[in-house]
Chain A
Amino acid sequence: MSYQLIKAGINLYAIFKNLEDLIALDEESRNLIKGKKISIQFLVKNGPKAWLQFENETCKVGQGIMHNPSVKLWFKSPEHLNKMFDGEANPIPLKGFTKLGFLQKEFVKITEKLEYYLKPEKLENPSKEYIEINTRFTLTVAAFALPEIVKYNREAKLSASHIPDGKIQLWVLPNDPAVFLTVKNGEISAQKGTTEKPDAIMEMKDYQTANNFLNGKSNPFLAIAIGDVIIRGQTNMLDSLSLILDKVQNYV
């Protein structure tokens, strides 16, 4: 049960979070929402709740309940939601039947593009631009998956309890893309961007290095030892964090 719950949280809060950058960076996706103003609420029984808002050629993704969304999609369980993400189930629409056309056409194309950028293994020779977007998305997924794993995975909860309160900055040099994690009393929250005074920093020297590191294609010890990945500050925070990060691949 916790597996499905964690996966559902990651799908809604971490995978979907990338829609914001997808719309900003990918012209084709942006064109699909041109002139459209639509918001979608995802409701999972005994599971996560999130909303998407497409407006003015931008996308915003939020956690929780949105006031008066255009569309409400209901899922009878976290497993139901996860099956939808795997293309094996459909949501139950509760509101916004007139917008179903958007969900079946444009939204499907947008999520297919998202999947394309998240799965580099399908490409033989990914371009530099592709690697940059994939790296950005992978970093976001990793960061936003952490709180979900910590909530419901016993070992991860223990690891998080060992992290002193503070802020951890992860970024690809020269400081973009960047995410930071706030740890308080064993709970982790993730945000995109930079924080002013991080207690620990993990910086990856360039996109390719970050891509290899985040996708498990490089030896992390070698990457740190040769200076491709630089860690600084209260690196004991990163020790425990890495134990949780290692679990992300079990859910995505």
Chain B
Amino acid sequence: MKTYTYKKSQELFKKAAEVIPCGIYGHFSPAPLIPVTDYPFYIDKAKGSRFWDVDGNEFIDYMCAYGPMVLGYNNPLIDAAAEEQRKKVNCGTAPARVMVDLAQEMVNTVDIADWAFFAKNGADMTTFSLMVARAHTGRNKIIRLKGGYHGTAPWMQSPDHHGITFNDNKDIVMGEWNNYEALEKYIHEHKGEVAGIISTPYHHPTFADNELPAKGYWKKVEALCKNEGVVLIIDAVRTGFRLDYGGSNEYFDFKPDLIAFCKAIANGYPISSLVGTNEMMNAASNVFHTGSYWYSAEPMAAALATIRELKRVNAVEKMFETGTKLGNGLIELAKDHGYNMKMSGHPAMPYFRITDDPSLMLHQKWCGECTKRGAYFTSHHNWFMSAAHTDEDIAETLKIADEGFKAIKE
């Protein structure tokens, strides 16, 4: 099987590094792509479940733009809805009608939602959720969980990171995933001080197996929050519309007060949303939070079309199915080659790890070998399935994975 090279990607990166800090910054940084020489840096075009890099190499994409792509790249239906709105107005002096339609769709779709607020990125909404929780409770402290990611605003980062101070984290308290007792203890010991708890619905850190909630965990957290007047915030930026149309909390059978959405909400068009219960609406109204492009109508039209299309094509069920097929296939293949492959998390966002080498070096090598044969796998992060991934994609991926296993043995 032919392996790819990335001459043009490398050249472009060198140019980029002269005029862009880091060349490629943030979550697209090449640094966690290991071995870095096995990965493309720049994309040329994309369609369906695949993308082509600037060197002309074709990949079946299991990162889906790190989540936003959920119905396939350049989905004609979504693009047509966006284009129709763009022709009318995108960024205007007042909101477009589609904003109301989208809010209504969110309220109709997400079980706990009585209202919806829109912005651009996940972090806009996780930050807003903290402001709403504080406005609602009149309290300062927010509990977040170790290993949880909610964006890059100063409150979300550790104070040892560049540009962050200990003051930025003054009212942020670290809890631990699945440790209800510690949460309860802290909240009881700090009665009347905790405004909110923010967490992903299941634990999907990087460089570690993903963890589902322990039996009864969320029900207990929900009850604790209700009893203590703490706002329960779910960061569904990654999980939203991949686990359940009604909110990924529904998949785990509990009801938060606020849910932050982004990524899969508009199939790649820039929009995020915070939804909440009636009880939170007054606080959400009182908090002033806005941005130059938060009223852009084109992404709203794309989001409206995406949510409807997700339901129409049974995307959640499809992603579960293809993710499970992929996982089972990889586990079986690994076994045939004498390795143990572990799949954790939810099948629509699986995290894979070859457990034979805890340092991850073997797993990294395998992911790199697969990527340079056309199946884009990262080794540090959960992958993303989309409704555009087909059985043919899975079959082709397993062939590539087989070659990858052969390559790491050599």
When distances are taken between beta carbons in the complex, the residues of chain A under 8 Å from B100 are none
Q: What does the 1/0 interface line of B205-221 toward A look like (CB < 8 Å)?
A: 01100000000000000
- A216 at the B interface (CB under 8 A): no
Q: Are A225 and B159 in contact (CB under 8 A)?
A: no
Given contacts A227-B36, A233-B359, 10 further A-B contacts (CB under 8 A): A155-B160, A197-B359, A221-B24, A222-B13, A225-B13, A225-B23, A225-B41, A227-B35, A233-B361, A235-B207
- B358 at the A interface (CB under 8 A): yes
B382 to chain A, nearest CB (A): 15
* Cα A233 to Cα B160 with chains together (Å): 22
* Cα A69 to Cα B10 with chains together (Å): 56
The residue in chain A whose Cβ has the minimal distance to the Cβ of B166 is: A154
The residue in chain B whose Cβ has the minimal distance to the Cβ of A246 is: B162
Interface size on B, residues (CB 8 A): 30
Q: Are B22 and A234 in contact (CB under 8 A)?
A: no
- A120 at the B interface (CB under 8 A): no
When distances are taken between beta carbons in the complex, the residues of chain B under 8 Å from A225 are 13, 17, 23-24, 30-31, 36, 41
- A200 at the B interface (CB under 8 A): yes
Q: Are A226 and B13 in contact (CB under 8 A)?
A: yes
When distances are taken between beta carbons in the complex, the residues of chain B under 8 Å from A155 are 159-160
B84 to chain A, nearest CB (A): 40
- Size bracket of the A interface: 20 to 34
- A142 at the B interface (CB under 8 A): no
- A184 at the B interface (CB under 8 A): no
With A156-B160, A236-B207 known to touch, is A222 a contact of B361 (CB < 8 Å)? no
Q: Are A159 and B36 in contact (CB under 8 A)?
A: no
With A221-B22, A222-B13, A222-B14 known to touch, is A230 a contact of B35 (CB < 8 Å)? yes
Q: Are B14 and A235 in contact (CB under 8 A)?
A: no
* Cα A201 to Cα B166 with chains together (Å): 30
The residue in chain B whose Cβ has the minimal distance to the Cβ of A197 is: B359
Q: Are B31 and A232 in contact (CB under 8 A)?
A: no
B interface, CB within 8 angstroms of A: 10, 13-14, 17, 22-24, 29-32, 34-37, 41, 158-162, 166, 206-207, 358-361, 364, 380
A interface, CB within 8 angstroms of B: 154-156, 158-159, 162, 166, 197-201, 219, 221-222, 224-227, 230-236, 240, 243, 246
Q: Which of B32, B37, B206 contacts A227 (CB 8 A)?
A: B37
Secondary structure dominating the interface of B: loop
Q: Are B35 and A219 in contact (CB under 8 A)?
A: no
When distances are taken between beta carbons in the complex, the residues of chain B under 8 Å from A231 are 31, 34
The residue in chain B whose Cβ has the minimal distance to the Cβ of A233 is: B359
Q: Are A232 and B23 in contact (CB under 8 A)?
A: no
Q: Are B359 and A199 in contact (CB under 8 A)?
A: yes
A161 to chain B, nearest CB (A): 9
* Cα A159 to Cα B157 with chains together (Å): 12
Q: Are A233 and B162 in contact (CB under 8 A)?
A: no
Provide a sorted-by-A list of 19 A–B residue pairs whose CB atoms are within 8 angstroms. Answer: A159-B158, A162-B160, A166-B359, A198-B359, A221-B30, A225-B13, A226-B10, A226-B36, A227-B35, A231-B31, A233-B361, A234-B359, A234-B360, A235-B34, A235-B207, A235-B380, A236-B380, A243-B161, A243-B162
* Cα A246 to Cα B163 with chains together (Å): 13
The residue in chain A whose Cβ has the minimal distance to the Cβ of B39 is: A225
When distances are taken between beta carbons in the complex, the residues of chain A under 8 Å from B361 are 201, 232-233
Q: Are B359 and A219 in contact (CB under 8 A)?
A: no
When distances are taken between beta carbons in the complex, the residues of chain A under 8 Å from B158 are 158-159, 162
* Cα A227 to Cα B166 with chains together (Å): 35
Q: Are A226 and B161 in contact (CB under 8 A)?
A: no
Q: Which of B17, B32, B34, B159 contacts A219 (CB 8 A)?
A: B17
When distances are taken between beta carbons in the complex, the residues of chain B under 8 Å from A199 are 358-359
When distances are taken between beta carbons in the complex, the residues of chain B under 8 Å from A226 are 10, 13-14, 36
